[in-house]
Amino acid sequence: SQKIEQNSEALNIQEGKTATLTCNYTNYSPAYLQWYRQDPGRGPVFLLLIRENEKEKRKERLKVTFDTTLKQSLFHITASQPADSATYLCALRNTGGFKTIFGAGTRLFVKA
């Protein structure tokens, strides 16, 4: 069956450290993968998109990697800040498909 999985346990890290979140998928062939941030009571906000032929993408303190062999994407936030505390969602669209499939998200807490 098709699955997209993120760590269900919350990630607690100290301010200034690097947060690393994992997204694994099974039985999909995504053309690209996206990462979103969602704060409580609000809609998700797009952060980064990485295509299947890209290994790594960066934007300010954010970095995403995409390994189609391992079927995994890693999302890194360097020099984390308490304001980075939120739920982070990964999402993919299957090649040739129309709908975007979201993972359940990983909640990140950054302590000052």
Partner 1 sequence: NAGVMQNPRHLVRRRGQEARLRCSPMKGHSHVYWYRQLPEEGLKFMVYLQKENIIDESGMPKERFSAEFPKEGPSILRIQQVVRGDSAAYFCASSQPLAGEYEQYFGPGTRLTVT
Question: In this chain, which of 9, 69, 83, 98 binds partner 1, going by CB under 8 A?
Answer: 98
27 binds partner 1 (CB under 8 A): no
Site for partner 1 contains 21 (CB under 8 A): no
| Spatial strand order in the sheet of 3-6 | 3-6, 19-26, 72-77, 62-67, 56-59
Beta carbon of residue 14, minimum distance to partner 1 (angstroms, whole number): 25
Report the candidate in 99, 67, 64 with the shortest Cα–Cα distance to residue 78: 64
**82 to each of 22, 38, 50, 88, 109, how far by Cα in Å?**
20, 15, 26, 14, 7
Is 42 among the residues that bind partner 1 (CB under 8 A)? yes
Residue 3 binds partner 1, judged by CB under 8 A: no
Which residues are paired to 77 by β-bridges?
19, 62
> Which residue, 49 or 74, is less far from partner 1 as judged by CB?
49
Applying CB under 8 A, which residues contact partner 1?
31-32, 34, 36, 41-46, 49, 51, 89, 91, 93, 97-105
